[in-house]
A and B are shown apart, each in its own frame.
Chain A
Amino acid sequence: MPNKTASSRFVFPRWVNYLLPVIVLGGIGGGLYLPVLVGFGFSADTLVVGYAPEQPVPFSHAIHAGELGMDCRYCHTTVEETDFAAIPPTQTCINCHAPGDEAAGIKKQSASLQPVHESHETGQPIEWTMVHTMPDYVYFDHSAHVNRGVSCVECHGRVDTMDVVYRAESMSMSWCLECHRAPEKRLRPVEEVTNLAWDPREHLLANLDEYESGLTPEQRERVDEISRSDAQLVIGEAVKQEYDIHDQMYMVSCSTCHR
């Protein structure tokens, strides 16, 4: 029939029917895929962990804090006093790396130290690139943490092994809350805050008298076999008591971090 041939131009061929399940499955799959992509792709973990910007001076924490064993507070002097752990002034570098004829100049010829010497001479600051930065509506206070037994390592990772400092943690709000909900999983004695290699199990075994009361009878019996996480909990609970850490309701109040 002439009509049939004329109208068939407007009819999809029969094989198109097989596309329907593909489209439906594709729709469902895509619908699942997209949120997953967005959720993981744009999460703080993906975007910021591992961020390691190039700095004007290739300062190696691995050498200074790791090999040489310098305490964090030698340079970041204000960390116990204020909210901000100050980047050291050039003068701190010059204490060891004095240029020219000054006596104790270590590596004074090194080209890498050029910007430091320049800053020392001109008085202009070295412009470091910020690695760890918080949104402006978050009011993190270093002193409130390091004075209560939260170690540098909890947020900054093993800086003493980093040649180039990178962001070890996502520092997203849920990540902060993990600790605010259960601080005992992270707390350690204040003296050990800057000891990045600290091990709770070793610490417990070395100071057994102090923590004995926090152990369960089973743990007490076979204390040598106590796990790392159990040791942390025992120590954490003790520190929590000692520093009168607030309860969970307080710790997760919006006003604890936001103003």
Chain B
Amino acid sequence: MSSLTPNIQGRDYWRSLEEYADTPQFREWMAKAGEPVDPEALKLSRRRFIQVMAASMSLAGLTLTGCRRWPEEKLAPYANRPEGSVPGTTSHYASQIMRGGIATGLLIEAFDGRPIKIEGNPEHPYSLGSTDTWTQASILNMYDPDRSRQVYHGWRQAEGQPRERVASSWEAFEAFAREHFGQRGGQASQRVAVLAEPSDSPSVNAMRQRFTQQFPQASWYEWEPVNRDNELAGARWAFRRSVRPIYHFDRARVIATFDADPLSTHPAAVRHARDWAQTRKQADDTGRMSRVYAVEPTFTLIGSVADERMAVRASQVPQLVQGLAARLGVPGVSDVNLNGSTDFINKLAADLQANPGESIVMVGPDQPAATHALAWAINAHLQNIDSTIDVVEEPGDHDRTLLQQITELTQRMNGGEIDTLLVIGGNPAYDAPADLDFAAAMGQVDTTIRLAEYHDETSQASDWHLPAAHYLEAWGDGRAWDGTVSLQQPLILPLFGGRSAIEILALLSGDEQTQGYDIVRQTIMGSLPRVIERDREGLWRRILHAGVVEGSAYPSSEELSRRVRNLPLEPIPDAASHVAWNQAPQTPTADAELEIVFQADPNVFDGRWANNGWLQELPGPLTKLTWDNAALVSVPDARENGWRQEDVIQLTVNGRTMELPVFVMPGQARGVIVVHLGYGRTSAGQVGNEVGHNTYTLRTSEAMHVAPVTIERGQGRYQLATTQNHHLIDAVGEWAVDKRVGKNAGESGYVIRDMPLQQYVENPQALQRNAHGDLPLQIFDVPYHPEPKREGGPVAFNEPHAWGMSIDMNACTGCNACVVACQAENNVPIVGKDQVLMNREMHWIRIDRYFKGDPTSEDAERPTAIVHQPMMCVHCENAPCEQVCPVNAAVHDTEGLNLQVYNRCVGTRYCSNNCPYKVRRFNYLDYHAKDPRDGGMPKPWPGIPDQQQHTGEHGYDRIRRMQFNPEVTVRMRGVMEKCTYCIQRIAKAKIQAKNEWARGQRDEPLVQEGEVHTACQQACPTRAIVFGDLNKADSTVTLEQQNPRSYGVLNHELNTRPRTRYLAKLRNPAEGVSSS
């Protein structure tokens, strides 16, 4: 595909630059996109094809003779069923997940003792029932066959063979540890070092204390590649102590982010998203909405939903923050020349001044400490402290940054000062700054002990490797962003005999109590105020049940908040010492230079999720890139340098060079190259090895975030599997409608509708502009015509419920949590990069990311904007798919669900062809059995055993299989599938409601509002997805569908009468704000 050509057509909303440019190549590709198989990819000659088909026929004949009963199945009941356990049902347990040392509370669903699905814990303040993508996907890691299963000690190497691990055992390690650490107790411990990930967990910290008591001279280091070093350093710069800001986005009317993303990588992102969405949803009731200003080098989630956005170089952000501070009159700040950004900053300053105490100014972790300090000053000046931002003491010791810690550790290792290194979690050999060469330094240490879930790069460099327990297998605890204590409760015994960090620390400290349960219980109960002795068991059980310890948030102190409000504004006297922290205001790179920005990947984060197939195949929220990372370049840079999508370029940073494919990213600042971390793993596992490119090799301790880069053209091209052009909604049809009924420039489209808030408030009905007027027609007589159950309710398919959905595009941030939640709930397979390239990804939900505006324009007044539209089967009442199915596999039920009957489906794919929303997915292969990394097509049919029928070694992986949701059919190759509105959840709720009613336990036999949540709805951090019964006049979904913003995508063009409707996006540009 080509990059931009001069003949730009100027579509209003577009999903890729190719679509925008509408080149002949793109049209050709579009025409081909519907083709089932790219014959070239099949790599099968005609002759071979005939051979295979003949073999298949004869085999089919053979199997017919084996016509048989179903395989004999065994039932193994408990010998002694535990009290309260009911076979064949699901139960829920409260637990938690950690990210960046911060916990989020969860509810884990277990089926017959197997955890199968993760939801947020509604009682946890930083989940409120929602989750992020990583949390949703973490269940897959639990059942990852590549997880480490064995204690290893040392290596052996036969002549000419690759070296191999020598298996050992926990007993051997325990014996070793007793002797080795026994000799190093007390004062003899100065050559012992521990490297862990930072954690706020009370038990980890208790065990850390215990360990340092035992080994007082040992050093404890912490490292995480995506960290909050600068943020914490900024707070220390300003207050000489560590302060944590607790943002309340729901109270903010103006939100300004500078290279920050509160909605994705921030540890409190889920809560932030919920709070932010509240300020958007109130537009219908109050006519008011928050206004988001985003200043950033490339699109982030907050930038994609911003009302005013400016793309600038990351290195210019400090200047802009300083300019803003000066304009706001923050004392002691001198003004700077802002060049082209003056208007934007003036506008922002005026808006902030107009909303004192109701704004948030946030600076991202890539920005230097001084800029963070300045942000504190701005927020204090705007009276935001104690209003939109609460402050608490940051727990832990932050005298040294993580970067300083790992640097010092490496130096000491290389200097021979360490003889025993214990690495708990993390993966420093892969993600430590490249100039430190941590893996080599590990070679200088006599004894390296490593506890990890995978035998990864760091384990490759260690002596001992101990398998760690997954968080669903081990006891633990943690603290939320606001300090609320939560418990981590295991749901299953460790599958591979792993142990947790606290258990290892207890073991090394020579404690008698080495069981995780005892440690956690003691820590948690010890931290609570004393209660009467006999109450303690009950109290513990209540905490376990709720998952959170009430009232355990960090206390706010008047002293601290006064200090923050009256921040000393001139740099504190010993500023020189802080310069050593690498955090002097960074000098902007020259305009002519290019700069590289390192960012955590939205899917694999810092690389820890690299072996998770769901996350590898998840289209990135903004790039829609799967199975890869790339160098994101801006449109003007690409045009000027002649870089096309998928060209390979060579990046050189501080003398370190690597090659990366180009991805042209609209809306990115000129002069910025963004690269994502976390790819190119060499020891991640079968799924993650050698996927993408390892950009840590460019990241050195001098340039952890932003650095000048020089670029040369590299060799050849590299294919990127981006789904941004996949499943385009009827682009041709939209063009035709435009042509017939006409459309004014700047008007909303038929698929996407958006509008400035002001315009909407003046005339809410303006969004209801329809091409054909209202056509409440059924094409066919519905075979079933009950009366509507309420006035204005659905007249068809409403017996006894009428299911419907509403998706608020004004609240959707495109975060992808719903996509993974759906995948986990509905046994949706991954297909692999080669299949994605063939349009064959299986996700039931895709989030269509539409760009708006002219990508070539660098006019700050008309920037490129984004609309996220989650798209799954909309359950049309007049379903085009049903009309073409020759075998009646696509049919409606009486409640409005458009069903796909797998056992009728013969795989003609007519339905998919006729679906205007392009939401149907075909199982070209038995994807659950296929290795996603096997490269292109697997062996033809005879080579693949009928995996589903096999329970033995030919079946699906026995461990992976444990995650399957037993309530959902695992689809075989050759059938079509699509969103079912989580029919299994509906069925369960219906049966339960009626059982209870029949037993006199409730009044209503039917399912009530709030009793069914679809998986996507439940995961959504912003509650943008609402599902329910349209027969009920007061259900949320009915109310939302009566909102003047509600519209059915393509409904008025094609009369499909979809049950899923969308709420149009509103924007709140700063037009009324006077820029002084």
Contacts and interface: CB of A to CB of B under 8 A. Distances in A.
A42 B1005 CA distance: 41
B109 to A, nearest CB: 15
A126 interface: yes
Interface string A119-148: 110111111111001011101010110011
Given A91-B79, A144-B994, A190-B998, A255 B69 contact: no
Interface string A226-259: 0000000000000000011011011001111011
B897 interface: yes
B30 to A, nearest CB: 34
Contact of B77 (A81, A89, A143): A89
Interface string B889-908: 00101110101011100000
Interface in A83-110: 83-84, 86-91
Contacts of A139: 967, 984, 987
Contacts of A247: 799
Contact of B74 (A82, A91, A127, A258): A127
Interface stretch (A45-53, A157-165, A201-209): A45-53
B1076 interface: no
B741 interface: no
* Among B73, B79, B784, B969: residue with most chain A CB under 10 A: B79
B991 interface: yes
A259 B983 contact: yes
A130 B79 contact: no
Nearest to B1006: A244
Interface stretch (B83-91, B150-158, B661-669): B83-91
B991 A86 contact: no
Nearest to A143: B995
B86 A128 contact: no
Interface in B347-395: none
Interface string B62-86: 0000010110111111111100001
A254 B893 contact: yes
Contacts of B86: 78, 81-82, 86
A255 B893 contact: yes
Given A82-B86, A137-B903, A254-B893, A259 B77 contact: no
Given A135-B70, A259-B967, A87 B991 contact: no
Nearest to A127: B74
Interface string B1004-1026: 01000000000000000000000
A84 B967 contact: no
Nearest to B904: A254
Nearest to B75: A128
Contacts of B897: 255
B969 A125 contact: no
B970 interface: yes
B980 interface: yes
B894 A90 contact: no
A147 B994 contact: yes
B940 interface: no
B77 A126 contact: yes
Nearest to B901: A254
Contacts of B784: 249
A87 B1005 contact: no
B968 interface: yes
A143 B998 CA distance: 11
Contacts of A148: 994, 998
B999 interface: yes
Given A42-B67, A83-B88, A255-B987, A123 B79 contact: yes
Contacts of A255: 893, 895, 897, 899, 983, 987
Nearest to B986: A255
A129 B69 CA distance: 14
A130 B75 contact: yes
Contact of A90 (B67, B77, B980, B999): B77
B79 A259 contact: no
A122 B969 CA distance: 35
Contacts of B415: none
B995 A147 contact: yes
B487 to A, nearest CB: 28
A258 B783 CA distance: 20
B89 A250 contact: no
Query: Main secondary structure on chain B at its contact with chain A?
Result: loop
Given A78-B86, A253-B894, A259-B984, A243 B77 contact: no
A84 B87 contact: yes
Nearest to B1005: A244
B89 A82 contact: yes
A236 to B, nearest CB: 16
A13 B369 CA distance: 108
A130 B67 contact: no
Interface in A44-73: 47-48, 51, 53
Contacts of A91: 78-81
Given A86-B88, A89-B77, A243 B970 contact: no
B991 A144 contact: yes
Nearest to A116: B79
B800 interface: yes
B899 A254 contact: yes
Nearest to A149: B998
A119 B79 contact: yes
Contact of A89 (B67, B81, B783, B969): B81
A256 B892 CA distance: 12
A249 B893 CA distance: 8
B998 A243 contact: yes
A136 B987 contact: no
Contact of A86 (B87, B902, B903): B87
Nearest to A257: B987
A80 B902 CA distance: 29
Interface string B135-168: 0000000000000000000000000000000000
Contacts of A249: 783-784, 799, 894
A118 to B, nearest CB: 10
Contacts of A82: 86-89
Contacts of B967: 139, 259
A254 B891 contact: yes
Nearest to B948: A136
A189 B897 CA distance: 32
B163 to A, nearest CB: 41
B76 A130 contact: no
A122 B76 CA distance: 14
A51 B73 CA distance: 13
Contacts of B799: 246-247, 249-250
Interface in B870-899: 891, 893-895, 897, 899
A250 B73 CA distance: 32
Contacts of A127: 74-76
Given A82-B89, A147-B994, A250-B894, A129 B72 contact: yes
B894 A86 contact: no
Contacts of B902: 137, 258
Contacts of B74: 127-130
A243 B967 CA distance: 25
A133 B71 CA distance: 10
Q: Which 8 A-B pairs have the closest CB atoms?
A: A84-B88, A125-B76, A253-B893, A89-B81, A87-B77, A255-B893, A89-B78, A90-B79
11 contacts: A47-B69, A51-B69, A81-B89, A84-B89, A86-B86, A88-B77, A136-B970, A139-B967, A249-B783, A254-B891, A254-B899
Given A82-B87, A84-B87, A119-B79, 14 more contacts: A80-B995, A86-B77, A86-B86, A86-B87, A90-B77, A127-B74, A127-B76, A135-B70, A137-B903, A246-B800, A250-B800, A250-B893, A255-B983, A258-B901
Interface of B: 67, 69-70, 72-81, 86-89, 783-784, 799-800, 891, 893-895, 897, 899, 901-903, 967-970, 980, 983-984, 987, 991, 994-995, 998-999, 1005
Interface of A: 42, 47-48, 51, 53, 78, 80-84, 86-91, 119-120, 122-130, 133, 135-137, 139, 141, 143-144, 147-148, 190, 243-244, 246-247, 249-250, 253-256, 258-259
